[in-house]
Chains A and B, each alone.
Chain A
Amino acid sequence: MDPNTAGWALVVALFLPLVGAGALAVMPSSMDRQIRRAAVAITGVAFALVVAITASFDFGRSGELQFTTDVPWITAINARFELGMDGISLPLFFLTYLLTFLCAVYTTKHLPEPGRPKAFLALMLMLQTGMAGTFVAFDLVLFFIFWELVLVPMFFMIGMWGGPRRDYASVKFFLYTLFGSIFMLVAFLAIYFAAGAETWSIQALSEMAPFGTATFQTWAFLGIFLGFAIKVPMWPFHTWLPDAHTEAPTVGSVLLAGVLLKMGTYGFVRIALPILPEGAVRFAPLIGVLAVIGIIYGSLCCLAQTDVKRLIAFSSVGHMGFVMLGVAAMNEAGIQAALFGNIAHGVITGMLFFLAGSLHERYHTREIAVIGGGMLKKIPRYGVLLTYVAVASLGLPGLAGFWGEFTAMWAAISPGLGIGDQYGGLYLGLVVFAAIGTVLTAGYFLWLLQRVNLGNPPERWASEPLDDVMRIEWVSWTPLLLLILALGIFPVLVFGVQDAAVANLMGYLGG
């Protein structure tokens, strides 16, 4: 495939899951097993295509858009169907297809009540198109459509296959996200009119920036900020996340943590920063402060959790705080750190949610006190995996979690774009608190391991036959486990791809 002309490949990869969802919908519900296999086949083919796209991606020019498609779409408002991918999109796009494929594999054996794989998998495939589209859409209107497309399938996934408080969690998730995204839409329209160029193209608008008055930049950034900050989620807009994550079925949590949250940071980096650089510089200290509050608050909440899954959910708040700290640094290293942290968090936390799901399948509870320890003795392989991923998540050097957090703090010491002159002291303080946050993170993860892994299994479980890691779990987890190690040892796998694209971005920001 020639990355300059093969725009079709991206279009096919993007809409294959949606077509697949339609195909699943017409299969009779009684063909339970065939439906699950068909979903694996669809996501597998899509993933293979994305691997092929990645293989033929021209890494030498990763700063430029490749695999582009650009055709008129809604002429009345000058919206175009503009797709493409550069070094920033590629890792996230790849991750989306990998995780969905693994989720489909996982679903061949595990599906929570009330079953109905047809509806579940069709929704998952719809979700996949929405998520993937967000990362390759280069037209603001198109971006918004994909962004919103994610809501409905996720709402149903949580609402129909979720835990006991699923009604509350699904509606909260939907309304919260919707609230932010409508403000975002208003801001997009304001950008369109302020630029006066009759274009929604993210590239074209970035090149034109900065435009509009200072007031416009501030208000437009505020609108976009609300949309993205809720999705990330940043403190204090995070309250939907613990509920949604805890109640969602395993696959839903994996995709929510693995991909959906990334849409928020991606939006900041791709849209908010380059198109509204002045607003971004004005908001950067605020973003930094909220990010660090998120780190500290998230880890303190984790210390107080009694439910494993809810603990992992709150840990996301902290980790995304590091990512946003990188964004707030407004320099090349910071953006790199944010994007790397994005990928690392997607892989690690996605994996943690898989583990939490399997934990519930075995113990039928996620309460730490009820599990009561001894997993290393009772189900040793599972215990080892949990240790490995938890340690990766707390940022042990050599595993994926380290680079994002370390680089983000390093970058925030000397923020770019002249922010350092004015707020140097503030940022230094932020880094200190973030460092305290890493200690707390290590604290709650190690404490978790101590409570569930070590010691002897309590009597209640001692005689219970619990399965250790099953074959299907090995199949769906191994790629993630390897990725955690690979990204830790060769962070250049992601840093290198993003390098030119991030440099481009800093060019728009004037740094």
Chain B
Amino acid sequence: MLIDWLAIAPEIALTVTALLVLFADLNLRGDAKQLVAPIAGLGTVVAIVFTAILWGDERATFGGMFVVNEYAVVFKLLFLGALLAILGISWRFFAEGRYYQGEYYFLLLTSFVGMIIMPSARDLLLLFVALETVSIPAFIMAGMRKRSLYSSEAALKFFLIGVLSVALMLFGISLVYGFTGTTDLAGIAAAIAAAGDVEPLLLAAVMLVVVGFGFKISAVPFHFWAPDTYAGSPLPVAAMLAVASKAAGFAGLLAIAFIAFEPLAEFWAPVLGVIAILTMTLGNLIALQQRDLIRLLAYSSVAQAGYMLIPFGLARPGATVVNDAAVQAVLFYLIAYAVMNIGAFGVAIAVHRRTGIRSLRDYAGLAQQSPLMAMGMTVFLLSLGGAPPTVGLWAKFAIVQAALTDVTMFAVVLMVFLVVNSVIAFFYYLKVVKTMWMDQAHEGMPALEPGFNLSLVVIVLMVGTVVLGVLPGLISDATSLTSLVAAG
């Protein structure tokens, strides 16, 4: 079998970087160890270049298991961009913490290798391998603050629930294989469509696979691990879990739902729609009560996953226009979400690392201490809520647009929940904004020293949030070109 090396060049570049980082860490001593961060950054840039070259290509290799098309490239660029940003916000955190720098960067890169495989995978087994590649390094990373009990708790919870979900998913995959005789996604769709009658057990298998991904994207009622894990992990890891790992889950869920199980959409779409309603409503209501900023962001990202699940609730078998609009809405939302949420975590890291602060009340008067960070946080939170002129508005716009492409009663119900939830969400986002700008600062807060890398990341993401808010065409022109199913 001939392998299309160019198609997998980004993955190879990232893998080589990961190994280089590990090797460098072994051989460097003392402060020289800090070199691993630039190496990781350089490798990411190389991977981005390789990915960008692939734009506009349609390639398939490994017997059609691995596909590169515009959809996959957009996703890969999203992941690699997120990786660069996370490297930026991690650097000082780990350099000053002096723990496990080499291991951290190696694990981070490995996890991202799994992520960039995800949108290309067109086979249940490859999807499974990709998901495990994303998860297993993340289990270790969550527990990296070894001496902190919270960190250990975070890792243990994450690990146990992750393993459980994978077990369920694997069981589902085996049943699906039993019914259809193939693990190829398009092949499964063809087999299901040809079979005509739908076996109840097949539906159960589909649900098992969906539940597996439900854990990954922390949809209610599979969200319990997320707040504890985010709160206990080192903060850059929490950012990675909340954004990149969640996006990877969505990439897998999109492929499974809209390719393999597309003929069964009439069964899973209502289920995912209801899960969307539960996820956003519960996430937002619990977030209202939070006093710890990280936990607030954690529940906010649960709610955000709910918004992103709405388009799944709109899917219908054979309705190509609606399904395409749904996939594009999810993709757009994920890109917007990555920009604004990494930014929010970036600011949280800047504040926490210097002052050890994470309680919401301690953000009082941040605007006087560090106008840049306060401004950044304001932009990110308003964007998460969906206020103009930020990219978050267009993310919501894309979802409403998908819902109204072909109006159904269920779509209207979903829209009403989206509206009500947007208002609830603003309540707690504004609370943070208000605390930062309008409350008096405490005495004796140490000055923030976010460092060059982190400031740069925050500025870039902040500018990006606003520029994309004025010209969303920069993303939507790319996402509207992409079609998930094109090129088998």
Contacts and interface: CB of A to CB of B under 8 A. Distances in A.
Contacts of A170: 434
A193 B471 contact: no
Contact of B472 (A74, A151, A166, A185): A74
Interface stretch (B36-44, B348-356, B422-430): B422-430
Contacts, number: 78
A106 interface: no
A149 B470 CA distance: 11
Interface in A164-204: 166-167, 170-171, 174-175, 178-179, 182-183, 185-186, 189-190, 192-193
A167 B435 CA distance: 10
Interface of A: 73-77, 144-145, 148-149, 151-152, 155-156, 159-160, 166-167, 170-171, 174-175, 178-179, 182-183, 185-186, 189-190, 192-193
B426 A186 contact: no
B319 interface: no
B96 interface: no
Nearest to A151: B387
Nearest to B423: A179
B389 interface: yes
B86 interface: no
A174 B388 contact: no
Most buried by B among A155, A160, A170: A155
B388 A149 contact: yes
B445 interface: no
Nearest to B480: A76
A167 B433 CA distance: 11
Interface in B363-397: 382, 387-389, 393, 396-397
A381 to B, nearest CB: 36
B434 A185 contact: no
Contact of A189 (B389, B401, B437, B438): B401
B423 A175 contact: yes
B407 to A, nearest CB: 7
Given A156-B437, A178-B422, A186-B400, 12 more contacts: A73-B471, A145-B388, A145-B389, A149-B388, A171-B427, A171-B434, A174-B426, A175-B423, A175-B426, A186-B404, A189-B401, A193-B404
Contacts of B431: 171
Contacts of A160: 437-438
Interface in B443-477: 471-473, 476-477
Q: Which 8 A-B pairs have the closest CB atoms?
A: A76-B476, A148-B388, A182-B419, A76-B480, A74-B473, A189-B404, A179-B423, A145-B388
Contacts of B397: 77, 185, 189
Contacts of B401: 77, 189
30 contacts: A73-B471, A74-B473, A74-B476, A75-B473, A76-B473, A76-B479, A77-B401, A148-B393, A149-B388, A155-B430, A159-B437, A160-B437, A166-B438, A167-B434, A171-B427, A171-B430, A171-B434, A174-B430, A175-B423, A175-B427, A178-B387, A178-B423, A182-B422, A186-B404, A186-B419, A189-B397, A189-B400, A190-B404, A192-B404, A193-B404
Contacts of B418: 182
Contacts of A155: 430
B415 interface: yes
Nearest to B393: A148
Interface in B204-222: none
Nearest to B427: A175
A171 B434 CA distance: 9
A182 B477 contact: no
Contacts of B389: 145, 149
Contact of A76 (B393, B407, B427, B477): B477
B307 to A, nearest CB: 12
Interface in B70-127: none
B405 interface: yes
Contacts of A174: 426, 430
B423 A182 contact: yes
B476 A77 contact: yes
B226 to A, nearest CB: 26
Contact of B438 (A159, A175, A186, A192): A159
A152 B423 contact: no
Nearest to B386: A182
Nearest to A171: B430
A423 to B, nearest CB: 30
A175 to B, nearest CB: 5
A11 B190 CA distance: 55
A218 to B, nearest CB: 13
A76 to B, nearest CB: 4
A143 B431 CA distance: 28
Given A160-B438, A178-B423, A185-B400, A193 B387 contact: no
Contacts of A182: 396, 418-419, 422-423
Contacts of A179: 419, 423
A73 B473 contact: yes
Contacts of B476: 74, 76-77
Contacts of A159: 434, 437-438
A183 B400 CA distance: 11
A237 to B, nearest CB: 14
A166 B419 CA distance: 25
Interface string B405-417: 1010000000100
A76 B382 CA distance: 24
A150 to B, nearest CB: 10
Contacts of B480: 76
A190 B407 contact: yes
B387 to A, nearest CB: 6
B387 A152 contact: yes
A431 to B, nearest CB: 36
A416 B407 CA distance: 33
Contacts of A186: 400, 404, 415, 419
B29 to A, nearest CB: 45
Most buried by B among A151, A166, A182: A182
Nearest to B398: A77
A407 B189 CA distance: 67
Nearest to B379: A152
Nearest to A152: B387
A237 B388 CA distance: 23
Contacts of B388: 144-145, 148-149
Contacts of A178: 387, 422-423, 426
Contacts of B438: 159-160, 166-167
A178 B418 CA distance: 13
A300 B90 CA distance: 61
A55 B382 CA distance: 40
